[in-house]
């Protein structure tokens, strides 16, 4: 079953084509890496998939909902986390989770249970009453990820989730991602770290608004006869 289906999707801003006729599918429970240099159209594509932007033409179904007409439905069924902003710094750990839980209409009794579970899973029992601003960056990012999942979405979008965190936390973060995917939640992530791209089940490389390459990282490396992801990436982005 596919949780994201994109066919000939195009987005134009006036004369400028930000996303040019892209097509791909993402399976349920898959970890899908979305790569590309800055300005490749990644952000615009991601906005469309999150139900924030209407495409100019083409088709896009996210969790079964049409990106043209069912933006709100899409937003109810996805989670989103970005590196740029994770959580409110002047609110406590549990308050942050509660805020987003409430915004996503999780029932109070269920939410209470989930907050407890999240804090336990992240070993943050001693931090629960602390302000988020006082946490180390890595902890914040993990907490933000857990918060993005508080309403048990079908798909979670991660926008450069691990920028600026140390390798150990990144590893822990990817453990969380796999754990999530194992529960049949689709993980759609962008990243600038090529080693991270290798952790994905499949990747998609974008350049100049178009999809250049899609497939399993190992397979792609073999097919393109390159030694590592860096080479692969540069080959397509620097044309």
Partner 1 sequence: MKGFRAILIKEFQHIFRDRKTLAMVFVIPVVMIILFGYAISNEIKNTKIAILNHAHDPLSYTLIEKVTSTNYFQNIKFLHGNHEIEEIFREGKVRLVLVIPDRFEQSFYKEKNATVQLVADASDLNNTVTLVNYMQTIVSDFQAEQNVLLPNMQPFQINVKMEYNPEMKSVYMFVPGNIAMVMVIVTALMASITLSREKESGSMRMLTITPIRPIFVILGKILPYMIISFFSAIVILLMAVFIFQMPINGGIALLLLICLIFMLTAASFGILVSTFAPSQQVAMIATMMGLFMPTMLLSGFIFPIENMPWILRVFSNIVPSTWFIIAIKDVMIKGAGFVGILKPFLILILLNIVLITITLQRISKK
Q: How far apart are CA 110 and CA 101, in angstroms?
A: 10
| Closest CB to partner 1 among residues 80, 174 | 80
Which CB atom, from 27 or from 72, has the smaller least distance to partner 1?
Answer: 72
Residue 85 makes contact with partner 1 by CB under 8 A: yes
Task: Using the minimum distance from each CB to partner 1, give the nearer residue, 24 or 80.
Answer: 80
Closest CA to 206 of 9, 4, 16: 9
Q: How far is the CB of 76 from partner 1 (least distance, A)?
A: 4
According to the binding rule CB under 8 A, does residue 48 interact with partner 1? no
Question: Closest approach of Cβ 131 to partner 1, in Å?
Answer: 8
What is the size of the binding site for partner 1 (CB under 8 A)? Answer: 22
Query: Is 115 in contact with 76 (CB distance < 8 Å)?
Result: no
Query: Is residue 165 at the binding interface for partner 1, with CB under 8 A as the rule?
Result: no
Q: What span, in angstroms and rounded, lies between the C-alpha atoms of 15 and 8?
A: 18
Contact 35, 204 (CB under 8 A): yes
Cβ-defined contacts of 12-19 (< 8 Å, 24+): 12/56, 17/209, 18/44, 18/209, 19/44, 19/45, 19/48, 19/55, 19/209
Give the nearer residue to partner 1 in terms of CB position, either 113 or 175.
113
Beta bridge partners of 211: 206
In the list 32, 61, 94, 100, the residue contacting partner 1 (rule: CB under 8 A) is 100
Task: Pick from 26, 31, 45, 50 the residue near partner 1 by CB under 8 A.
Answer: 50
Structure tokens at 220: 């792609």
| 68 near partner 1, rule: CB under 8 A | no
Integer-rounded Cα radius of gyration of the chain: 18
Which position has the token pair 């995917």? 181
Position among 25, 59, 70, 95 found at the interface with partner 1 (CB under 8 A) = 95
The Cα–Cα gap between 130 and 68 comes to 41
Q: Which stretch binds partner 1 (CB under 8 A): 18-26, 45-53, 59-67, 207-215?
A: 45-53
3-state helix, strand, coil in the chain (%, to 5): 40, 30, 30
Q: Which of residues 105-164 bind partner 1 (CB under 8 A)?
A: 105
Under the binding rule (CB under 8 A), the answer on residue 239 touching partner 1 is no
Asked if 6 interacts with partner 1 (CB under 8 A), we say: no
Rule CB under 8 A: choose which of 99, 128, 226, 237 binds partner 1.
Answer: 99
Binding site residues, partner 1, CB under 8 A: 50-52, 72, 75-76, 78, 80, 82, 84-85, 88, 90-91, 95, 98-100, 102-105
């Amino acid at each position: 079953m596919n949780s994201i289906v994109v066919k000939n999707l195009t987005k134009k801003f006036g004369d400028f084509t930000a996303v040019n006729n892209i097509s791909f599918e993402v399976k349920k429970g898959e970890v899908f890496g979305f790569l590309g240099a800055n300005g490749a159209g990644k952000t615009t594509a991601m906005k469309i998939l999150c139900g924030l932007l209407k495409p100019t033409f083409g088709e896009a179904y996210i969790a079964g909902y049409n990106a043209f007409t069912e933006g709100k439905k899409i937003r109810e069924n996805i989670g989103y986390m970005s590196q740029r902003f994770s959580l409110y710094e002047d609110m406590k750990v549990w308050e942050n989770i509660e805020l987003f839980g409430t915004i996503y209409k999780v029932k109070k009794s269920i939410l209470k249970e989930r907050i407890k579970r999240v804090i336990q899973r992240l070993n943050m029992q001693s931090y629960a009453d602390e302000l988020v601003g006082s946490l180390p960056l890595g902890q914040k990012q993990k907490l933000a990820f857990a918060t993005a999942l508080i309403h048990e979405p079908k798909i979670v979008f991660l926008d450069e989730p691990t920028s600026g965190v140390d390798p150990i936390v990144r590893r822990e973060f990817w453990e969380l991602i796999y754990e999530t995917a194992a529960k049949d939640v689709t993980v759609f992530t962008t990243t600038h770290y090529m080693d991270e791209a290798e952790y994905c089940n499949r990747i998609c490389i974008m350049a100049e608004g178009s999809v250049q390459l899609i497939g399993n990282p190992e397979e792609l490396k073999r097919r393109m006869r390159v030694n590592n992801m860096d080479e692969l990436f540069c080959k397509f982005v620097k044309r």
